[in-house]
Amino acid sequence: MKTKPYDLMEIARLGVLFLPGDFLEDIMPPERKEYPLLVADSDSEFALTDEIDFVEDHYNALKRVLLLTERIDSTRSPYAALWIRRPENPALCEVMVAGSALPSEGVLIQKLWPELARAFGGMPTRRNRDRGQTVYYPVRNSDEEIVGVLELTENIEPMFI
């Protein structure tokens, strides 16, 4: 029997059910959470990202859910990622965990854009992009605070690196 493909937003809703928001909140060790401040006097991209470190158990648990979320509907092939707001500057955001590929926006700290900001405000948001689509879905911790956003994207070239 032919089944109807899951909507990308529905896949995101299912994925978020299994994402431990507390782990995303603490994905970096305490001394690295505000890592840009460690090299505030450097304008080198490499010097900045050399400071990135993760709590491996938290990272791996989240990565596993992202990889499995990408497989919820075998007729679709989205890639997933988790965004956070920078704790030292919430007007900025950064992808923290990527599933099978990186969002096209890349890995560096950048300004929030409207659709992502809306999701950080609690509103699951769809973004139609040329031939592809992205959905953003809020991720909450065990205190029900929004600590990140799940991105699912399909038919948009991921970042090549």
Partner 1 sequence: MSSSYLIHDMIRVCPQTGKVLEDQARVRTLPELGGLTAELTTPRNAYVSFQIVVKLGDAGVQGIRFEAEALKGEQGEIGAGEFEFYAQWYHGIKDRYYPDALVPLDQEGGGPRSLSQIAARNGVANQAYAAVWVDLFVPSDAQAGGYRGALRVTAGGETESHEIRLRVLRTAVPDESRIILDLNSYADNISRRTDALRDNPTRYEDGTYFKTEQQFYRMAHEHRCLLHYLPYQHSGKMPPTFAPELEGKGKQMRVKDWSAFDEHFGPYLDGSAFAGTKRGEIPIPYMYLPFNFSWPADYAKFGMKGYRTEFAAIMEEFHRHFTEKGWLNTKFELFLNHKKRYKLFPYDGDETRFVWDEKINDIFYDLSKDVLEKEDGAQFIFRTDASWSYGLHFDKYANMIKLWVVNQQMFSWFPESVEVLREAGCDIWTYGSAERISTSLLATVFSPLAAVARGIDGFTYWESTKWGDRWYETPDSEGSTAVFYPGDRLFGLQGPIPSIRLKTIRSAMQVADCMAEWIDEQPDGRTRMGEAIAAAFALKPGAWWPGKPDFLDKPPYEWENKMFSEAPRASLDNSLAPEAFNDLRQTLWEILS
Site string for partner 1, 74-93 (x = CB under 8 A): -------x------------
Site for partner 1 in 27-56 (CB under 8 A): 39, 42, 44, 46-47, 49-50, 52-56
User: Least separation, in Å, of the C-beta of 4 and partner 1?
Assistant: 26
Q: How far apart are alpha carbons 37 and 91 in whole angstroms?
A: 16
100 near partner 1 (CB under 8 A): yes
Distance of CA 139 to the CA centre of its chain: 9
When the beta carbons of 39 and 117 are compared against partner 1, the nearer one is: 39
Whether the CB-CB separation of 62 and 23 falls below 8 Å is answered with yes
- Tell me which residues touch partner 1 (CB under 8 A): 39, 42, 44, 46-47, 49-50, 52-56, 59-60, 63-64, 67-68, 81, 95-98, 100-102, 107, 158, 160-161
